[in-house]
Structure 1
Amino acid sequence: MDTVQAKKQEPRNFKKKFFNLENIHPYVVILSIVFLIYILSLVLPSGEFDRVENENGDVTVVAGTYKTIEKDLPSVFALFKNIQLGFVDTASITFFIIFAYVFVHILTVNGTLSVVLGNVVDKLKNKTFLFIPISMVMFGILGATVGLYEEVYGLIPVFIGVAIALGYDAIVGGAIVFVGVATGFAAALTNPFTIGIAQEIANVPLSSGLSFRLIVFIIFEIAVISYVMYYAHKVKKDPTKSILYGTKVAAINQITLKKEKLLWKHKLSLLALIITFAMIIYSTLKLGWYIDELAALFLLMFFIVGFLSGYSLGRIMDIFIDGAKQILFGILTIGFIKGAIITMEDAAILDTVIYYLSFFLVGTNSYLTSLGMLFSQNLINLFISGGAAQAMATMPIMAPITDLAGMDRQIAVIAFQFGDGFSNMFWPTGVAIECAIMGISMVRWYRFIMPLFGIMLVLQVILMMVATAIF
């Protein structure tokens, strides 16, 4: 009898063991993507568009100039060399994340976050639910107007700590920042890095379509905030409903609330944190700071907090190394992904991908053309993740297609805006970085984001149809 039962259970165990994605090492997923891109580099024909430099120094492609070129097949050795180059090219963002992470780590070590959050939670009592919508709207506006994105990465660990302190989980804290700013960046109002460049290349007025984009922004804000709040409420009511339940979370996410009197070191450290937040906003808006300057800011404030806490230099460096070790596992994925993209660039297949996608759009009716543009831009975003770079590579191709279909060029701008932005929350090229900062596995993130991304995709299709009808 026992033998029969064991045999009945065997298929289930086999399936659980070999087909459960949780058993797959995250780096196996990353390397699979790397080798898939390498295979595409071998299979797809090489080609290129002519490019010109405008008066601002931006290089854009020239529509109708695509031509195939002799293919230089990348060797396996070249792939691994490109991975090395990928780590070199992404050094700025990698060390920016490390410095931001260790800054928050020292606030955890000296007890500031535990005591401050403990007192904040006690003060808020039954009003903690307001934390999610207020924070997400704030990040959404920053992304939609001035185009903040990577600049807020350093705030993710802080919001994770707050979310956990309020009874939620790390995904809620990460989503507040990541989904919040990414939604604003995609449903942009005046984002100079996407809308500004795209409209300039498409030769449409910079203020055109603003009222429509405002409606788009409101719709998507309502959708993402509602989704995150629903998930957060479910987790707070029953922690076993958390997607992270039963998994090991990053040490920085394990903050124990302490309702204690703030010591001077806590007050001074909190002041340093507030000054850092203020400087991030002011410097990016007024001083033109970006990754390198913000990384320097986090590193400087790390040392200041260390000395304010009364630590010796040796103790401060021990905290630095401990924090860097915690984040290292995740951020190393960045170099692998960048190395695969370099391989594609060397094989000259990026322009080929754009050309064939645009080629299939010509000759269809306006609604099919707009949807084709939308899905093409989503796919292209897997390979060209930078908003400005994608605009300069695709808009000179997509804008003339709208002319052929008898459509307003604003449609091409909206398709780019949606395709470039929202899929940043889905494609591994962006998700790998975010999950590294959040200290969670990509599999767990996808379990959270896939339903929301499905909702976003439906909204994108509907709004593209509306835009095609009214423009």
Structure 2
Amino acid sequence: MKEHGKEPGTGLEKEARKPLLQNLHVYVLLVGVLMMLTALTYVIPAGEYETFDDPVSGRTLLLPGSYHQVDSSPVSFFSMVGSIQRGMIDASDIIFFILFAYGFVNVLIESGTLFGAVGAMLRRFKGVGTLIIPSFMFLFGILGSTVGIFEEVYGLIPAFMGIFLALGYDGLVGGAVVVVGVATGFAAATLNPFTIGVAQKIAQLPFGSGWPFRVAVFIAFQSLAVFYVMRYAARVKRDPKLSFVDGVAFPMGEGVDEAQIRSYPFTGRHRISAFCLVLTVVLVITGTTQWGWYLDELAALFIIMMVVVGRINGYGFNRIAELFVAAVGRVALGALVVGLARSLTLVMTEGRIIHTVIYWASNVVSGLSHNFAAVGMLVVQNLLNFFIPSGSGQAAASMPIMVPLADALEIKRQVAVLAFQFGDGFSNLIWPTAVATECGIMGVPIQRWYRFMVPLFLLMFVLQVIFILVAVAINLGPA
């Protein structure tokens, strides 16, 4: 007799009969990509461009026309497996940053501060969740667009997920407010020094030139992103079963609902602790924009605030340590995804196939007509972001090739910069080399993220093509 919900004789739940990719563990998925890339090192010829130190940009750039094949450097199976360890070491700064950020948020949750603050907002203001979404998405977008903040706000993701879970949404909404907000601004940048700054220096254009056009670009893309997230959030609010992360457990929101949150007390200790959270957000923004802070300094900030908030709420040091260890246990799976994703880049570098991909892609673009060539540059830059996740690194690798190519095709250099900016930025929301990190922090299965993100990315890509064609039509120059 068949037991309800199970296959006879197997003990497997019907859940296991879902499509393979939907059930695939994120580690298995990334290792599969790693094996594919390792195989490509046996297929794609190894090649290199000669490099030179550019005094204008202060970076090591590729020398156009210098590509040549080198001795094949296929990655062995043993070296591929070893790249996982090397990736963990290489990404250790982000991994430990995630652990300390979650530790701070866990103290806020365990003390009742986070939910107490949200309950107080719900009692005082109506529609607070609806207002938070556009307000913070535009705030994070402006920071990404102007000063190039991206990974620096990752530590705030757990707090925002907890807030939106308490407001009756799902964890994906809270994560998307931060991730989609900052990534869209970073890509639709106005003055981002790490992308536009580097690319314009290499292209010998004045820094910040073309900013009026980029302001229009930023408003269009950020508005699209806000509309998309708000539409999804409203749907989840009406019917939680429509959530793309239905059934996914988020440690920062376990066992809470909006009715409970509305009745949560907000004590004097909670008020002081909530002020510490606000102060932390202010220090993250100020430190990264004014004081040159990055992951080490931000991790130190979260450690300090974890202890301060713990002591405010009467916890001894032993209890604070226990809460930190509990937080590490909850997010270890996601944090280690970051190192696993880093191994993908290490294998491509060891196999020496990245420059070959750049060479092949530039050759394809050079054979296209005027408008198609501009769109081709956009496609190439999206492709290259899989192989070179770093924005400034991609600029140094691709712009020395794309700038003379643009000149030869009689395309303005500003258009080449725009294509780089779009391709480098927006694909951070879709390529696993970047998405694995974001999903690891959020605790969202990567397959669920793609269900949410692919439609938005396709809309954004259409908008990218439109703006590229407009830039070509108006002959966008350095003014």
TM-score band by shorter chain is: over 0.9
Indicate how the Cα distance of structure 1 residues 237 and 395 shifts in structure 2: closer, same or farther if over 3 A, else same. Answer: same
Matches within 5 A, 1:287-302: 287-302=291-306
| CA deviation after TM superposition for structure 1 residue 421, in Å | 0.3
| CA deviation after TM superposition for structure 1 residue 105, in Å | 0.9
Task: Confirm or deny that 1:271 pairs with 2:275.
Answer: yes
Task: Confirm or deny that 1:405 pairs with 2:409.
Answer: yes
Check conservation: 1:99, 1:299, Cα contact below 8 A: yes
Query: Which residue does the alignment assign to 1:36?
Result: 36
Indicate how the Cα distance of structure 1 residues 348 and 467 shifts in structure 2: closer, same or farther if over 3 A, else same. Answer: same
Whole-angstrom CA distance in 2 between matches of 1:85 and 1:463: 40
Whole-angstrom CA distance in 2 between matches of 1:210 and 1:16: 51
Describe the superposition over 1:347-366 as per-residue Cα deviations: whole angstroms up to 9, x where unpaired.
Answer: 21111111110111113211
Query: Which residue does the alignment assign to 2:374?
Result: 370
| CA deviation after TM superposition for structure 1 residue 130, in Å | 1.5
Residue 74 of structure 2 aligns to a residue in which SS? Answer: coil
Matches within 5 A, 1:350-429: 350-429=354-433
Query: Which residue does the alignment assign to 1:100?
Result: 101
Task: Confirm or deny that 1:462 pairs with 2:447.
Answer: no
The residue type equivalent to 2:232 in the other structure is: Y
Match of 1:326 among 310, 327, 330: 330
Matches within 5 A, 1:7-86: 17=17, 19-55=19-55, 57-86=58-87
Whole-angstrom CA distance in 1 between matches of 2:391 and 2:43: 27
Query: Which residue does the alignment assign to 1:447?
Result: 451
Match of 2:314 among 290, 310, 315: 310
Task: Confirm or deny that 1:437 pairs with 2:441.
Answer: yes
Query: Which stretch of structure 1 is more off in the superposition, 233-242 or 379-388?
Result: 233-242
Query: Which residue does the alignment assign to 1:210?
Result: 211
| CA deviation after TM superposition for structure 1 residue 247, in Å | 3.3
Whole-angstrom CA distance in 1 between matches of 2:256 and 2:296: 29
Check conservation: 1:198, 1:391, Cα contact below 8 A: yes
Query: Which stretch of structure 1 is more off in the superposition, 20-29 or 129-138?
Result: 20-29
Indicate how the Cα distance of structure 1 residues 349 and 107 shifts in structure 2: closer, same or farther if over 3 A, else same. Answer: same
The residue type equivalent to 2:156 in the other structure is: L
| CA deviation after TM superposition for structure 1 residue 372, in Å | 0.9
Query: Which stretch of structure 1 is more off in the superposition, 337-346 or 104-113?
Result: 337-346
Check conservation: 1:157, 1:252, Cα contact below 8 A: no
Check conservation: 2:196, 2:208, Cα contact below 8 A: no
Whole-angstrom CA distance in 1 between matches of 2:97 and 2:16: 38
Describe the superposition over 1:359-387 as per-residue Cα deviations: whole angstroms up to 9, x where unpaired.
Answer: 11113211111111111110110111110
The residue type equivalent to 1:370 in the other structure is: A
Whole-angstrom CA distance in 1 between matches of 2:255 and 2:108: 13
Check conservation: 1:49, 1:63, Cα contact below 8 A: yes
Query: Which residue does the alignment assign to 2:8?
Result: none
Whole-angstrom CA distance in 2 between matches of 1:81 and 1:126: 51
Check conservation: 2:341, 2:437, Cα contact below 8 A: no
| CA deviation after TM superposition for structure 1 residue 394, in Å | 0.4
Residue 125 of structure 1 aligns to a residue in which SS? Answer: coil
The residue type equivalent to 2:318 in the other structure is: G
Whole-angstrom CA distance in 1 between matches of 2:365 and 2:14: 45
Indicate how the Cα distance of structure 1 residues 192 and 185 shifts in structure 2: closer, same or farther if over 3 A, else same. Answer: same
Residue 360 of structure 1 aligns to a residue in which SS? Answer: helix
Query: Which residue does the alignment assign to 1:232?
Result: 233
- What percent identity do the matched residue pairs reach? 44
Matches within 5 A, 1:71-150: 71-150=72-151
| CA deviation after TM superposition for structure 1 residue 24, in Å | 1.5
The residue type equivalent to 1:368 in the other structure is: F
Indicate how the Cα distance of structure 1 residues 170 and 469 shifts in structure 2: closer, same or farther if over 3 A, else same. Answer: same
Whole-angstrom CA distance in 2 between matches of 1:217 and 1:319: 40
Whole-angstrom CA distance in 2 between matches of 1:248 and 1:267: 28
Check conservation: 2:121, 2:128, Cα contact below 8 A: no
Query: Which residue does the alignment assign to 1:9?
Result: none
Unpaired stretches in structure 2, ≥5 consecutive residues: 3-12
The residue type equivalent to 1:364 in the other structure is: L
Whole-angstrom CA distance in 1 between matches of 2:190 and 2:255: 37
The residue type equivalent to 2:24 in the other structure is: I
Residue 361 of structure 1 aligns to a residue in which SS? Answer: helix
Residue 395 of structure 2 aligns to a residue in which SS? Answer: helix
Query: Which stretch of structure 1 is more off in the superposition, 234-243 or 85-94?
Result: 234-243
| CA deviation after TM superposition for structure 1 residue 163, in Å | 1.4
Query: Which stretch of structure 1 is more off in the superposition, 61-70 or 242-251?
Result: 242-251
Whole-angstrom CA distance in 2 between matches of 1:220 and 1:85: 36
Describe the superposition over 1:168-205 as per-residue Cα deviations: whole angstroms up to 9, x where unpaired.
Answer: 11111111100000000000000000001001101112
Indicate how the Cα distance of structure 1 residues 294 and 251 shifts in structure 2: closer, same or farther if over 3 A, else same. Answer: closer
| CA deviation after TM superposition for structure 1 residue 254, in Å | 5.1
The residue type equivalent to 1:50 in the other structure is: E
Unpaired stretches in structure 1, ≥5 consecutive residues: 3-12
| CA deviation after TM superposition for structure 1 residue 429, in Å | 1.3
Whole-angstrom CA distance in 2 between matches of 1:118 and 1:286: 33
Whole-angstrom CA distance in 1 between matches of 2:326 and 2:153: 22
The residue type equivalent to 1:405 in the other structure is: L
| CA deviation after TM superposition for structure 1 residue 268, in Å | 2.2
Check conservation: 1:133, 1:225, Cα contact below 8 A: yes
Describe the superposition over 1:239-262 as per-residue Cα deviations: whole angstroms up to 9, x where unpaired.
Answer: 121112233333456545153443
Describe the superposition over 1:267-308 as per-residue Cα deviations: whole angstroms up to 9, x where unpaired.
Answer: 221122122111111111111011111111111111111222
Indicate how the Cα distance of structure 1 residues 43 and 139 shifts in structure 2: closer, same or farther if over 3 A, else same. Answer: same
Check conservation: 2:165, 2:174, Cα contact below 8 A: yes
Check conservation: 2:169, 2:233, Cα contact below 8 A: yes
| CA deviation after TM superposition for structure 1 residue 83, in Å | 1.7
Query: Which residue does the alignment assign to 1:344?
Result: 348
Whole-angstrom CA distance in 2 between matches of 1:326 and 1:461: 41
Describe the superposition over 1:58-105 as per-residue Cα deviations: whole angstroms up to 9, x where unpaired.
Answer: 211111111111113221111122221111110001111111111111
Task: Confirm or deny that 1:248 pairs with 2:249.
Answer: yes
The residue type equivalent to 1:25 in the other structure is: H
The residue type equivalent to 1:54 in the other structure is: D
Residue 440 of structure 1 aligns to a residue in which SS? Answer: coil
Describe the superposition over 1:35-64 as per-residue Cα deviations: whole angstroms up to 9, x where unpaired.
Answer: 111111121111111111233642111111
Matches within 5 A, 1:142-221: 142-221=143-222
Check conservation: 1:46, 1:348, Cα contact below 8 A: yes
Check conservation: 1:161, 1:255, Cα contact below 8 A: no
Query: Which residue does the alignment assign to 1:8?
Result: none
The residue type equivalent to 1:66 in the other structure is: Y
Whole-angstrom CA distance in 1 between matches of 2:327 and 2:372: 50
